[in-house]
Structure 1
Amino acid sequence: MTKSSTSGLTRRALLGAFAATAVVAAPTYSKAAGFLRGGGDIRRIRMYSGRTGERIDMVYWVDGKYIKDAVKEVNHFMRDWRSDQVKDMDLRTIDIMAAAHNMLDVSEPYMLLSGYRSPQTNAMLRRRSRGVAKNSLHMKGQAADLRLSSRSVSQMAKAAISCRAGGVGQYYRSNFVHMDCGVIRSWRG
């Protein structure tokens, strides 16, 4: 996903260097809402996909502004891998994911199980599992299913719930947490 430039330094490499040198204190659970409202100087998202083999480690927000090229890469990364369809992800969901990750104080990237889902993919998954919503927020680019091997479902959910910014589903059997920017609620699947 990195594009070459004539100067030898890409925007992504510059952002990566910035992220590597920035020192940001992880917010506490009580400060999660402040982080989502702009309490941090940078926002960074780290994920990998076992489906595509891709990885992303991206500063996507600096000093109150989203970085357009970084957000575009995050959208591509979170695409429906089955159909290769890309949708603009709701930035509130990305912010919730980043805030929860910071609170967990881990360097391990999230494993992205599902980001955007096309209506066709969602319908196919509904036929296979009763746990897939007919009007899933995944189809609107407003949800992600995530896993960390170093943290439990309970720990991840607690961090996401403390953001008080959307829905959090705990799926213990499948070992993942659903995070979305919809109505504030939580459930066990």
Structure 2
Amino acid sequence: MKIDEIKPSRRAILGVFAGLCTVAAAPVYARAPGLLRKAGDTRSISMYSQRTGESIKTIYYADGKYIPEAMSEISYFMRDWRQNEVRSYDPNNIDNLAAVLALMETNEPYMMISGYRTPQTNRMLRGAASNSYHLRAMAADIRLRSRDVRTIQRAALRCNGGGVGYYRRSNFVHIDCGPVRTWNG
């Protein structure tokens, strides 16, 4: 077999970039006064859900564009698990989540508490905003094992990429890609 006949799989090629992603992106985000949504040639995200037992670790952006298959996997992972309904998840919020991790200099997976919500699920949840960005697949409620929620909130505020809600009692941070604003829950 000739060398030019060898065609590595897409996953193999992206796997090479996975280890480089956080190393390359972290210094860029650390120097940025706000969120640099288009920083880095390769971006990845890693999350798990204690509610469904599912996890995801994927490169979702490479060579100047979002990877449709990875974005579909993320959308499925972020679905409303109560109604088992999937909506296309906003890539800008995945960029927000990745930027927060880079600012904290970690590639630890997020525990995803809530992603997309159907109107039915949103009405079930006590205290949920009726116009929540969760309804638009533009928000995530998250936490990390290695960081307290105040640290996550501060990193998210530095990104300046959208709304940041701090829920100390419930032990999570809300991050969305809507207008820049902040609140305590």
Query: What residue in structure 2 maps to residue 186 of structure 1?
Result: 182
Query: What residue in structure 2 maps to residue 19 of structure 1?
Result: 18
Q: Which residues in structure 2 correspond to 1:42-53 (within 5 Å)?
A: 42-53=42-53
Letter in 1 for 2:17: F
Quick one: structure 1 residues 19 and 150, their matched pair in 2 at CA, closer, same or farther if it must change by over 3 Å? Answer: same
Letter in 1 for 2:159: C
Q: Which runs of 5+ in 1 are unaligned?
A: 1-8
Quick one: structure 1 residues 12 and 116, their matched pair in 2 at CA, closer, same or farther if it must change by over 3 Å? Answer: farther
Alpha-carbon distance between aligned partners in 2 of 1:45 and 1:123, rounded to the nearest angstrom: 29
**Match for 1:149 among 145, 154, 166?**
145
1:18-57 CA-partner distances (Å, limit 9, x unpaired): 3135542413444163631x12121111100001111111
Q: Does 1:67 align with 2:67?
A: yes
Deviation at 1:59, TM superposition (A): 0.8
1:34-88 CA-partner distances (Å, limit 9, x unpaired): 631x121211111000011111111101132101111110101100111110001
Q: Does 1:119 align with 2:119?
A: yes
Alpha-carbon distance between aligned partners in 1 of 2:138 and 2:52, rounded to the nearest angstrom: 21
Letter in 2 for 1:144: A
TM-score, L = length of structure 2: 0.88
Alpha-carbon distance between aligned partners in 1 of 2:116 and 2:175, rounded to the nearest angstrom: 12
Alpha-carbon distance between aligned partners in 1 of 2:62 and 2:144, rounded to the nearest angstrom: 25
TM-score, L = length of structure 1: 0.86
Any idea what SS the aligned residue of 1:122 has? helix
Query: What residue in structure 1 maps to residue 36 of structure 2?
Result: 35
Quick one: structure 1 residues 117 and 32, their matched pair in 2 at CA, closer, same or farther if it must change by over 3 Å? Answer: farther
Any idea what SS the aligned residue of 1:170 has? strand
Letter in 2 for 1:66: Y
Alpha-carbon distance between aligned partners in 2 of 1:10 and 1:44, rounded to the nearest angstrom: 18
Quick one: structure 1 residues 81 and 41, their matched pair in 2 at CA, closer, same or farther if it must change by over 3 Å? Answer: same
Any idea what SS the aligned residue of 1:97 has? helix
Query: What residue in structure 1 maps to residue 160 of structure 2?
Result: 164
Letter in 1 for 2:52: T
1:117-168 CA-partner distances (Å, limit 9, x unpaired): 011100111xxx22x1011110100100000011111110111111111000
Alpha-carbon distance between aligned partners in 2 of 1:34 and 1:93, rounded to the nearest angstrom: 11
Query: What residue in structure 2 maps to residue 82 of structure 1?
Result: 82
User: How well do the aligned residues superpose, as a CA RMSD in angstroms?
Assistant: 2.0
Alpha-carbon distance between aligned partners in 2 of 1:153 and 1:40, rounded to the nearest angstrom: 26
Quick one: structure 1 residues 91 and 107, their matched pair in 2 at CA, closer, same or farther if it must change by over 3 Å? Answer: closer
Contact 1:46 1:110 in 2 (8 A): yes
The number of equivalent residue pairs is 177
Any idea what SS the aligned residue of 1:26 has? helix
Contact 1:15 1:58 in 2 (8 A): no
